[in-house]
Amino acid sequence: MSINEKFSAIRKGLLEFLVLKIIAADRVYVADILKQLSATEFATQEGTLYPLLSKMRREQLVDYEWTESEAGPPRKYYSLTAKGREQLRETSDYWQKISGTVKALGQKPGT
C-alpha cells in the first residue's frame, strides 16, 4: 500500500477544512477552488466537490450567490457564513494541536 493510498481517507477528511480556507480568502466559484487544489496533494474533481459544497451549504457553513459571468451562464459564487468562519477557526486550532502532537510524539526526552 503506497503512502498515497494510506492517506486517502485523511485527505478526504481534510478537504472540507481546505475548502473553508479557500472560500474564506476570496469569493470563488467551483472552478477556482478546483484550480487552487489542483497543484496540491488534495487535487479533486467536480464529482466530489459539488456534493461536498452542497453538504456544507446544508450545514450553513457556506452560502452562494448567482453572479453573471462574461462568458457563459451565471455562476455560483461561494462565501462563508458566520457559522462557517467559526468552524474554520475551530478547525484551524484543532489542526494546530494535531500537527503539534505529531511533531512532539516520539521524540526522545531531553532533545
Partner 1 sequence: MNKVITINLNGNAYPLEENGYEALRTYLDTAARRLAGNPDQAEIIADIEQAIADKFRAVLSANKTVVVTAEVEQIIAEMGPVEDATGPAPEPPPAAAPGPAGAESGPAPKAAETGGTAKRLYRIKDGAMIAGVCNGFAAYFNLDVTLVRVLFAVLAVLTWGVVAIPLYLILVFLLPTAHTSAEKAAAHGAPSTAEEFIRRAREGYYQGMKTFHDKRAHRQWKRQFKQEMRGWKRSFRQEMRNHAQHWSQTWHHAWAPQPRPHILAWVLLPIISLALFIMGLAAAIAFLSLLCTGALFGVLLPHGIPLWIGLVFIIVAYHVVAWPLKSTRYFLFYHGTGGFGRPYGGGGSLAWLVFLVLLVWVADRHVPEFHQALYNLPPMIHQAVDSVRQWWDQR
Binding site for partner 1 (CB under 8 A): 30-31, 44-48, 50-52, 54-55, 57-58, 66, 72-74, 76
The smaller minimum CB distance to partner 1, of residues 73 and 110, is found at 73
In whole angstroms, give the CA distance from residue 19 to residue 8. Answer: 17
* Nearest approach, Cβ of residue 16 and partner 1 (Å): 8
Residue 4's alpha-carbon distances to 9, 20, 22, 81, in angstroms, are 10, 23, 23, 33
The smaller minimum CB distance to partner 1, of residues 7 and 97, is found at 7
Through-space distance between the first and last CA atoms of the chain, rounded to whole angstroms? 33
Per-residue DSSP letter, 53: H
* Nearest approach, Cβ of residue 5 and partner 1 (Å): 15
46 grid coordinates: 467536480
The smaller minimum CB distance to partner 1, of residues 67 and 99, is found at 67
